[in-house]
Amino acid sequence: MWGTGHPGGIGTIHAGTSIGALRRLEQLIQEAVVTVPKALIAETIDIVAVLSGRGSVRRLSELARVEGLDPDGDYRVASAHLSPDRQPLPKGEQS
């Protein structure tokens, strides 16, 4: 629930991976507060979509579900890396 009372929303951030996006969000939060609420970030963000490409061509290259924090306090994500035709890559071909 956003502060406006609406259930959900969407935003953009510059990063190359889902984990990179979550860490970049931490950096932005640190501009306002000293202690980053990683547990709150992990609870609030459900899905991270990573787009890649140049110019006018963009493709979905990763779709990740944020599942919380692992025992070490790092983000736990279930990530599907996608091929150029937007199909999941077979196991072993994911980068």
Tell me the CB-side half-sphere exposure of residue 93, using CA atoms within 13 A.
Answer: 7
For residue 85, the model assigns a pLDDT of 59
Q: Using one digit for the tens of pLDDT, what is the confidence trace for 21-57?
A: 999 999 999 999 999 999 999 999 999 999 988 888 8
Q: How far apart are the first and last CA of the chain?
A: 34
Q: Using one digit for the tens of pLDDT, what is the confidence trace for 66-92?
A: 999 999 999 999 988 766 655 555 555
Instruction: Tell me the pTM.
Output: 0.78
Provide the token pair at 92. Answer: 């072993």
> Smallest Cα–Cα separation from 68: which of 77, 59, 60?
77
- Contact residues for 79 (Cβ-Cβ < 8 A; gap 6+): 18, 62, 63, 64, 65
Beta strands at 47-52 and 59-69: parallel, antiparallel or unpaired: antiparallel
